[in-house]
Amino acid sequence: MKLFYLITANYLKLALITSLISICLHATDLLITQPGMYKLGDNLIFNPSSTDNAINITVSNVVLDLGNKTVSQGNAVASVDGITINSGLSNIIVQNGFIKNFTGNGILINQSCTRININNLQIINCSNCGILLSGTVGNTITNTIITQCAILGCSNASAFGAINITQSNGLKIENIVIANTVGTTNISFITLATCVLCTFNNIYIKNNSSTGFMRCVNESAGTINKYSNILIANNTTANQFLGINIINSNADSFNNVRVLANSSSTQDLIGFNLNNCDNGIFRSCFVQNNSAILGFTGFNFFTTGNQNFAIDCMVTSNSVSGAAANSIGFNFDDGSREVLRKCQVLNNSSTNGTATGIFFQGTGGSGSIITNCLVSRNVGVNAASSFGVNRLAGTNNLFPQVVSFNNNTTAANQLSGVPAGSVQTPAAPASSNINTLSSPWSSLALGS
């Protein structure tokens, strides 16, 4: 039976022949040392005696087609990778098959590689990382595409996650499913460190669990990365949960990103966590039906961020149940010139603490604009301190045309700390109180 072909434009050369249904290799890897088109003719079970790679690509201009066959590790030797692409290579395609049960990474792409295409693979039960892109300072990975892949049950005992990317530029990652990890430590499913102009589209992170903290997307020091059509759903952790965690990054954009029905059984849960980030844009992003114990925040604009924009975003139907735990829709702390436009905070609750729709606390920040927002039915057991909008700190922040009602407190307290004269508090809703010619910039606070 034919196992491994080398196919070129002019001839077909057998690289390996066996009569077995599945081939078992002992203490040696398959080396691809010349350009060409390769196809796996049968399943490959790799039984190394020490740290190694099942398949090692050492030359540029290679197409490796797994032919819907499986490459797997058959023993428990540690730190064994499925497919390794050596440093400095270009024009590599790996496609069409299954990579299973490796104690290291499913696929390792080393520094200075460019134009690598990973397509139509299922990577299953790999201990370290599903796909690791290991760029270094001055040796970035560029113009690489990962598409139509499922990464299932990887990183069960590792923090590396399903896709781990360092020092990369111009990557395109789309149509990816990350699921079925049962983690026993801290984990980040997609990790980016110092990545520029990378795009993520149609990504599903779902049905994962961990006993450690969970970051579904964890980016640091990124620039102009784009996320669209991301669903983070039905993940559970016994520790802190962060849906999108962005640190020290600039000019990222998020469109139609949903953090839905996730839970933390002992700690806090944050949908979008921004720490020292500038110029981010969030459009049509939703945090919905999540639950936690110690605290909940939908969007956390935290620590010296500037000029982040949230447009048409919603935080709704989330709950927190721990003692004195707070539910917050949008939290501002030490950020400046942030903008919320046409956002909604609805039906969030705290059964043992307070619920606040929009909260300015800590140093509060300055120069932010909250406009055309609806804050309604955020209910905490501490009714007197559960507000629609609560400005405890900050200066020169504007709140034009914000409607707040049924947030536990009386009509006059629906918008706490908002400058006097900018809030109307009628006894009952009336269309004449909203956006009238005489007071076009007033906010509206209604009691229950």
168-to-94, 302, 368 alpha-carbon distances in Å:
19, 26, 33
**Helix/strand/coil (H/E/C) assignment for every residue in the chain:** CEEEEEECCCCEEEEEECCCCEEEEECCCEEECCCEEEEECCEEEEECCCCCEEEEECCCCEEEEEEEEEEEECCCCCCCEEEEECCCCEEEEEEEEEEECCCCEEEEEECCCEEEEEEEEEEECCCCEEEEEECECCECEECCEEEEEEEECCCCCCCCEEEEEEEEECCEEEEEEEECCEECCCEEEEEEEEEECCEEEEEEEECCEECCCEEEEEEECCECCEEEEEEEECCEECCCEEEEEEECCECCEEEEEEEECCEECCCEEEEEEEECCECCEEECCEEECCEECCEEEEEEEECCCECCEEECCEEECCEECCCCCEEEEEEEECCECCEEECCEEECCEECCCCEEEEEECCCCCECCEEECCEEECCEECCHHHCCCEEECCCECCECCCCEEECCCCCHHHCEECCCCCCEECCCCCCHHHCCCCCCCCCEEEECC
pLDDT of the residue at 28: 58
Q: Taking the domains of the chain in order of start, what are their residue ranges?
A: 37-178, 213-418+441-447
Nearest alpha-carbon partner for 52 in 33, 38, 73: 73
State how beta strands 226-233 and 263-264 pair.
unpaired
d(CA 245, CA 229): 17
CB count within 10 Å of CB 439 equals 15
373-402 as b/e: b if 16+ CB within 10 A: bbbbbbbbbeeebbbbbbbebbeebbbebb
pLDDT tens per residue across all 448 residues of the chain: 344 444 433 222 334 323 233 455 554 579 999 999 999 999 999 999 999 999 999 999 999 999 999 999 999 999 999 999 999 999 999 999 999 999 999 999 999 999 999 999 999 999 999 999 999 999 999 999 999 999 999 988 777 789 999 999 999 999 999 999 998 899 999 999 999 999 999 999 999 999 999 999 999 999 999 999 999 999 999 999 999 999 999 999 999 999 999 999 999 999 999 999 999 999 999 999 999 999 999 999 877 788 999 999 999 999 999 999 999 999 998 888 999 999 999 999 999 999 999 998 887 778 889 999 999 999 999 888 888 888 888 888 888 888 888 888 766 568 777 765 556 555 444 333 333 334 444 566 654 3
Determine the pLDDT at residue 391: 86
β-pair partners for 125: none
Q: What is the pLDDT of residue 256?
A: 99
Say how far apart CA 229 and CA 258 lie, in whole Å.
8
Do residues 352 and 324 lie in contact, with contact meaning Cβ atoms separated by under 8 Å?
yes
Q: b/e map of 319-353 (b: 16 or more CB within 10 Å)?
A: bbbbeebbbbbbbbbbbbbbbbeebbbbbbbbeeb
pTM of the model: 0.90
Give residue 319's Cα distance to chain centre. Answer: 21
Rounded Cα distance between 21 and 302, Å, is 57
Q: Is the distance from CB of 396 to CB of 365 less than 8 angstroms?
A: no
How far is C-alpha 376 from the geometric centre of its chain's CA atoms? 28
pLDDT at 399: 85
User: What whole-number distance in Å separates Cα of residue 126 and Cα of residue 439?
Assistant: 62
Question: Any idea which residue has 């069409």 for tokens?
Answer: 96
What does the pLDDT read at residue 404?
86
For residues 140 and 34, give the distance between their C-alpha atoms in angstroms, rounded to a whole number. Answer: 24
Residue that the structure tokens 């398949």 belong to: 55
Angle in degrees, CA 50, 72, 179, rounded to 5: 115
